Amino acid sequence: MSRRPRPAVPPRVDVLVLGGGPAGTWAALAAAARGATVALADKGWCGTSGAAAAGGNNLWFVPPDGDARDRAIAARMREGGYLADPARMAGALARTWDAVHELAAAGYPFPPDQDGRGRYLGSLQGPEYMRVQRRRVRRAGVVVLDHAPATELHRDADGTVVGAAGVLRQAGNIPWAVEAGAVVVATGGCAFLSGALGCNVDTGDGALMAAEVGAELSGMEFSSQYGTAPAFGAQTKGLMYQFASYSRADGTALDLPPMAGPALHRAMLEGPVYARLDHAEPAVRDAMRTSQPNFFLPFDKAGIDPFRERFGIRAVCEGTVRGTGGIAVPGDGCATTVPGLYAAGDAASREDVTGGITGGGSHNGAWAISSGSWAGDAAARHARGRPRPTGVAPAGRAGLRPTRTMRRSAADVVATVQARVLPLELNRFRTGRGLQESLAVLDPLWEEVVDGLAPDDRPGTRAREAAAMVAHARWMYRAALARPESRAMHRRDDHPATDPSQARRLRVTGLDEIVVRPGTTGRREGLVAS
């Protein structure tokens, strides 16, 4: 079988974007709009890979009239445990409003609104959204490298990030390297290969790369988000369950509210749970199918009417894809704590706009648009006029350059991490003892992985994914130990109350030795939301 021709990889660009989902494409567009030369490298095929492309969601899309935005911000501050930042939330709302109108002008097929006199702009269907984004990126002159996962960052003698390297999967796994004036990490969060729809590429690679050059992380304790999916499917569209009633396998009704949250998860620990969307009025059902068609696809294939028939459900770990934690972006334009490095979307901490609670689809979608736009613009400004770097060196370690032999395979490493992260009783409902027991497994595992895990079937990719998952699990649980309270999605069964004195963020640094320290409160003085 002949191999596909090797894509033309530019040796140098002003801005290199890692990741081709919403955040990555908005970053590439913003950088190109500044006149920068831009390359975008995606682990999959830009336009179809990732959680957004596989689904659809409402947006945090609030008009600028009256006090609607102020009320939306105040509500999110309360729900998020008072860890969000009002200035950046206001900036995200403003940027999302403008960006949606840009999408409409670019040809996104928004449906008619209810009165038929305009278009409903508050929802995006993933396939159409990312098809439009790919077309816009290419028309902007961005070099798109598909199936080109990044494996490590490069930095110069001063510690500034000046590019990245990876492999070209469809050209025989040959390596690529691009020198850049600035790098935007938009590689997504980490769902630990739990089977959540579209999250097979979301293994936390970007955060590992950022940590290797010294970047800080934030909000890692807010990583225990679980979506509800049919027992036979992977679609975690929680909004549909607002119309659900729940029961046991024998038909015994469960006294749970439709959006049950932790109560539903506790019921799942006691035995199988079934759902039926029987609270949806007939007039609402067509609208549900129109707004979220992919939710109903597995039911239609299975011949199940979810409005009339019961179906088994399960909890699927979504980690930092729907959770909050990620690379800290305290600087203007979503700059990280490392010069030359920017982060956006699920790879970045979402605390600024969601606090410690999930942003679901709506806030997460708005954050992808706004953070991507800010990061791309700031990266282009940083790259302008920068001299060629000297003393450039690769920063990758675990899964790339083993110094000893390790008997475990990458698949074995992943399975060990999943056993400590996917179960509800270990991650959703945490205790100090349980966290310590998990770390007693994960810490020695990292010691094995960091120097012993070698590239396997695809040079540097599977091993790097496994290493990133070990790192994420350790960051999560170290941060969870350092927050002895229950706040937002972080639940400590041994500390069920919320402690007002802990209304501050936690910064996490390190790989071999992980350090957790208090960060800022949600209201950061002097922050300008670009």
Going by pLDDT thresholds of 50, 70 and 90, the confidence category of residue 152 is very high
Examine residue 309 and state whether it is found in any structural domain, yes or no. yes
**Residue 338 shares a structural domain with residue 202:** yes
Q: What is the pLDDT of residue 293?
A: 80
Examine residue 429 and state whether it is found in any structural domain, yes or no. yes
Going by pLDDT thresholds of 50, 70 and 90, the confidence category of residue 236 is confident
- The candidate with the shortest Cα–Cα distance to 238, out of 295, 311, 188, is 295
* 123-125 and 56-58 beta bridge pairing: antiparallel
Which CATH number fits the domain that encloses residue 466? 1.20.58.100
Burial of residue 170 (number of CB atoms within 10 Å: 0-12, 13-18, 19+): middle
Radius of gyration of the chain (CA): 22
Amino acid at 510: G
Going by pLDDT thresholds of 50, 70 and 90, the confidence category of residue 525 is very low
Examine residue 399 and state whether it is found in any structural domain, yes or no. no
Measured on CA atoms in the order 143, 385, 213, 157, is the torsion positive or negative? positive
Q: What is the pLDDT of residue 1?
A: 41
Examine residue 113 and state whether it is found in any structural domain, yes or no. yes
The Cα–Cα gap between 394 and 165 comes to 8
- The β-bridge partners of 15 are 38, 182
Which domain does 40 fall in, by range? 12-223+323-394
SS3 string, 37-77, reads: CEEEECCCCCCCCCHHHHCEEECCCCCCCCCHHHHHHHHHH
- Give the mean model confidence (pLDDT) for residues 213-228: 96
- Percent of all residues in the chain with a pLDDT value above 90, rounded to a whole number: 79
SS3 string, 468-479, reads: HHHHHHHHHHHH
Domain final position from 363, 394, 425? 394
Residue 376 CB: number of other CB atoms within 10 A? 33
**Residue 329 shares a structural domain with residue 306:** no
- SS3 label, residue 322: helix
Which CATH number fits the domain that encloses residue 301? 3.90.700.10
**Residue 312 shares a structural domain with residue 330:** no
Burial of residue 94 (number of CB atoms within 10 Å: 0-12, 13-18, 19+): middle
Is the per-residue pLDDT at 2 higher than 70? no
**Residue 421 shares a structural domain with residue 342:** no
Is the per-residue pLDDT at 252 higher than 60? yes
**Residue 108 shares a structural domain with residue 217:** yes
- Give the mean model confidence (pLDDT) for residues 405-419: 93
Do 497 and 478 contact (CB within 8 A), yes or no? no
Cα dist from 224 to 202, 316, 487, 495, whole Å? 15, 10, 12, 16
- Give the mean model confidence (pLDDT) for residues 298-327: 94
Is the per-residue pLDDT at 457 higher than 60? no
**Residue 389 shares a structural domain with residue 351:** yes
Tokens coding 164: 């990245």
Q: What is the pLDDT of residue 435?
A: 98
**Residue 230 shares a structural domain with residue 218:** no
**Residue 460 shares a structural domain with residue 362:** no
**Residue 329 shares a structural domain with residue 437:** no
Task: Please state the pTM of the whole predicted model.
Answer: 0.94
Is the per-residue pLDDT at 181 higher than 70? yes
Examine residue 503 and state whether it is found in any structural domain, yes or no. no
For the ranges 269-273, 402-406, 492-496, the lowest mean pLDDT is seen at 402-406
Domain final position from 292, 318, 344? 318
Q: Indicate the number of domains in the chain.
A: 3
Examine residue 273 and state whether it is found in any structural domain, yes or no. yes
Name residue, tokens 């605390």: 351
For the ranges 1-15, 279-293, 463-477, the lowest mean pLDDT is seen at 1-15
- The candidate with the shortest Cα–Cα distance to 54, out of 240, 277, 292, is 292
For the ranges 44-48, 383-387, 494-498, the lowest mean pLDDT is seen at 383-387
Do 349 and 329 contact (CB within 8 A), yes or no? yes
Which CATH number fits the domain that encloses residue 115? 3.50.50.60
Name residue, tokens 């679980």: 226
Name residue, tokens 């953070």: 371
For the ranges 18-22, 255-259, 466-470, the lowest mean pLDDT is seen at 255-259
Mean pLDDT of the chain: 92
Is the per-residue pLDDT at 320 higher than 70? yes
Domain final position from 335, 361, 394? 394
Going by pLDDT thresholds of 50, 70 and 90, the confidence category of residue 522 is low
Instruction: Report the interhelical angle of 86-105 vs 68-79 (nearest 10°).
Output: 120
The Cα–Cα gap between 494 and 272 comes to 25
Do 138 and 54 contact (CB within 8 A), yes or no? no
The Cα–Cα gap between 396 and 284 comes to 51
**Residue 122 shares a structural domain with residue 147:** yes
Long-range contacts of 440-444 (CB under 8 A, 24+ apart): 441/416, 442/417, 442/470, 442/473, 442/474, 442/477, 443/474
Q: What is the pLDDT of residue 23?
A: 98
Examine residue 389 and state whether it is found in any structural domain, yes or no. yes
The Cα–Cα gap between 12 and 29 comes to 18
The Cα–Cα gap between 363 and 340 comes to 27
Name residue, tokens 């700031």: 378
The Cα–Cα gap between 238 and 260 comes to 10
The Cα–Cα gap between 414 and 193 comes to 8
Residue 484 CB: number of other CB atoms within 10 A? 12
**Residue 203 shares a structural domain with residue 256:** no
The Cα–Cα gap between 450 and 511 comes to 9
- Phi and psi angles of residue 41, each rounded to the nearest 5 degrees, phi first: -115, 120
Residue 425 CB: number of other CB atoms within 10 A? 14
More confident residue, 335 or 332: 335
Examine residue 404 and state whether it is found in any structural domain, yes or no. no
**Residue 66 shares a structural domain with residue 196:** yes
Burial 50-60 (b: 16+ CB within 10 A, else e): bbbbbbbbbbb
- The candidate with the shortest Cα–Cα distance to 76, out of 65, 64, 92, 63, is 92
**pLDDT tens, position by position, 182-198:** 999 999 999 999 999 88
Do 20 and 52 contact (CB within 8 A), yes or no? no
